[in-house]
Amino acid sequence: MKLRRLFLTLSLCAPSLLSAAEMKQATFAAGCFWCMEAIFDRVPGVTNVVSGYTGGPEKNPTYEQVGSGSTGHCEAVEITYDPEKTSYAKLLDVFWRSHDPTNGRGVAPDFGKQYRSALFYRTPEEKQEIETSAAALAKKLGKKVATQIVAFEKFYPAEDYHQDYVKHHPDVPYVRNVSIPRLIEAGFKE
């Protein structure tokens, strides 16, 4: 009986363990992480989006430190997705639509290096896909794309109160006036 119960438990858990192992991650930055998290949460095939910091040398940075612009980090999101349900190319498409990637000063209304547009690749294939996608976009726009293409090193999750911020604070003026319009501009419903 115990052996049968163990087998049943393992057979029920195994599919979720296998699919979790096959998940992939992408790290993108394009201004406020609240906005980016809300956008990527709506992409079919995305299973988790975490707001945080990346791109600088400071270990375990805080929101205040990153916001000061002194850490080298930018606000970013770490996206976990199922490659059988969506692709890195689809995520890039959503990324490009979510902001003006030609502005090197940041993403309006947030300016400074902590709000820069950046894509953090994990593999040479991702780097190539980003470069090809950025070149095609630049050609289409007739402008240079200012988005940085950077090797991924480390991602630090933001403080708990930043996670799912748009969902938990829909009436905050920044959310109503910036996050929701960006969400709609990227092609998603509020």
How crowded is the C-beta side of 112, counted as CA atoms within 13 Å? 13
74 is catalytic: no
3-state SS of 144-179?
CCCCEEEECCCEEECCHHHCCHHHHCCCCHHHHHHH
Integer Cα distance of 93 and 102 in angstroms = 15
**Contact, 127 vs 99, CB < 8 A?**
no
Task: Spell out the residues 6+ positions from residue 136 whose beta carbon is closer than 8 angstroms to its own.
Answer: none
Integer Cα distance of 77 and 169 in angstroms = 18
Rounded to 5°, angle at Cα 21 from 81 and 9: 120
Backbone phi, then psi, for 120, in 5-degree steps?
Answer: -110, 105
Indicate which residue of 13, 32, 35, 74 is catalytic: 32
Q: Mind telling me the catalytic residues?
A: 32
